[in-house]
Amino acid sequence: MLEVRKLTKVYDDGTVALKEVSFTVPDGEFLVIIGLSGSGKSTLLRCINRLIEPTSGQILWDGVDITAAGQEELRRIRRQIGMIFQQFNLVKRHTVLTNVLTGRLGYTSTWRSLLGLWSREDRARAMRNLELVGIADKAHNRADELSGGQQQRVGIARALMQEPKLLLADEPVASLDPATSHSVMKYIEWMNRERGLTVLCSLHFLSLARRYGTRIIALRAGELVFDGRPEEIDDRRFKEIYGDEAIEVEIR
């Protein structure tokens, strides 16, 4: 279980990105985070694995306080939390296989990883995960030779390498076309349903959020303005989250 308590983030320039946000995520949930651009979705996700240091508040995961963890412990926590990104964040000049293998860095000793001495199991695991996302044939291509959808699948394979219990996905399909978006979202859904991962995923489109989320939270200017089941978001709620001017668009 993930428990976020009164999480606040104030950036160095004084921007308040999160204001006392609290919510709880039971294991196995597919939690979708929605909100306008700048509402704090990325900040929230990055606070959970402390890519961004929270200003105050607590994040408890299975009773362990992530916000209080020292460097060594933080790394052990991070390796159980997979993350995928809007811009895929692959190392462009490395091969697809190397990119996937980096998912094992948290489990590999420094000297072995600096020499590229990946274990036999890790190599096999990497190929299995690439097969799983359907791009095993691209294993030896340079990462930047792949299409956006393929790159995101490499990102998913990299996250799978960590054998994570929790997956953070920051607008994983925002740079993809609708059809590709669904194929990527289906992999995430598969991880949630078949592998039993808890998923925290921020999305731009409410239609996608409704389709994949088991629960939705909404941020507005850093504040939690909604926490409930997808079907609870009616017109009034929608306007509260996105502002009066907004109209809902569908992505199928």
Partner 1 sequence: MSERSFYVRWGRYLLLVALAIPLYIWSWRTADINLVDLIQGAPKARPIISDLVRPSLLARERVTLSVSAVVRVPCDAPPPEPPPAEGPTLTLSATCLNARDSLVVSGSGFRPNTPGRLYWRVAGLEGRLRDEPFETDAQGRFTVETDIPPLLAQQGGDHTLEAELKWEAGALRPSETLRTTIDKMIETVFLALMATTFGGLVAIPLSFLGARNLMPTTPWGTTLYVAVRSFFNTARSIEPLILATIFAIWVGFGPFAGVLALSVHTIASLGKLYSEAAENIDPGPIEAIRSTGANEWQVIWYGVVPQIVPPYVSFTVYHWDINVRMSTIIGFVGGGGIGLELQRWINQLQWNSAATAVWAIVLVVSAMDYASAIVRERLV
Binding track, positions 210-229, relative to partner 1; x by CB under 8 A: --------------------
Residue 225 found at the interface with ligand ATP (CB under 6 A): no
Q: Which does 190 bind (CB under 5 to 8 A by kind): partner 1, ligand ATP, Mg ion, none?
A: none
Binders in 4-33 for partner 1, by CB under 8 A: 12
* One-letter amino acid of 99: N
Residue at token pair 């598969």: 190
Using the minimum distance from each CB to partner 1, give the nearer residue, 138 or 158.
158
Residue 90 found at the interface with partner 1 (CB under 8 A): yes
Phi, psi of 141 (to 5 degrees): -80, 155
Using the minimum distance from each CB to ligand ATP, give the nearer residue, 127 or 225.
225
What CA dihedral angle connects 85, 30, 237 and 18, to 10 degrees? Answer: -50
Closest to 175 in 3D by CA, of 89, 252, 248, 93: 89
Binders in 46-85 for partner 1, by CB under 8 A: 49, 51, 75-83, 85
Instruction: Please give the Cα distance from 180 to 190 (Å, whole number).
Output: 15
Strand partners, 220: 223
Residue 38 found at the interface with ligand ATP (CB under 6 A): yes
Strand partners, 215: 31
Residue 15 found at the interface with ligand ATP (CB under 6 A): yes
Residue 35 found at the interface with ligand ATP (CB under 6 A): yes
Residue at token pair 């799983």: 132
Q: Which does 13 bind (CB under 5 to 8 A by kind): partner 1, Mg ion, ligand ATP, none?
A: ligand ATP
**Pair 44, 51: CB distance under 8 Å:** no
Residue 2 found at the interface with partner 1 (CB under 8 A): no
Residue 39 found at the interface with ligand ATP (CB under 6 A): yes
Q: Which does 130 bind (CB under 5 to 8 A by kind): ligand ATP, Mg ion, partner 1, none?
A: none
Binding track, positions 94-133, relative to partner 1; x by CB under 8 A: x-------xxxxxxx-x--xx-------------------
Pure H helices in 6-101: 41-48, 71-78, 96-101
Strand partners, 174: none
Exposure on the CB side of residue 164, measured as CA atoms within 13 A = 32
As measured in angstroms, the least distance from the Cβ of 231 to ligand ATP is 23
Residue 43 found at the interface with ligand ATP (CB under 6 A): yes
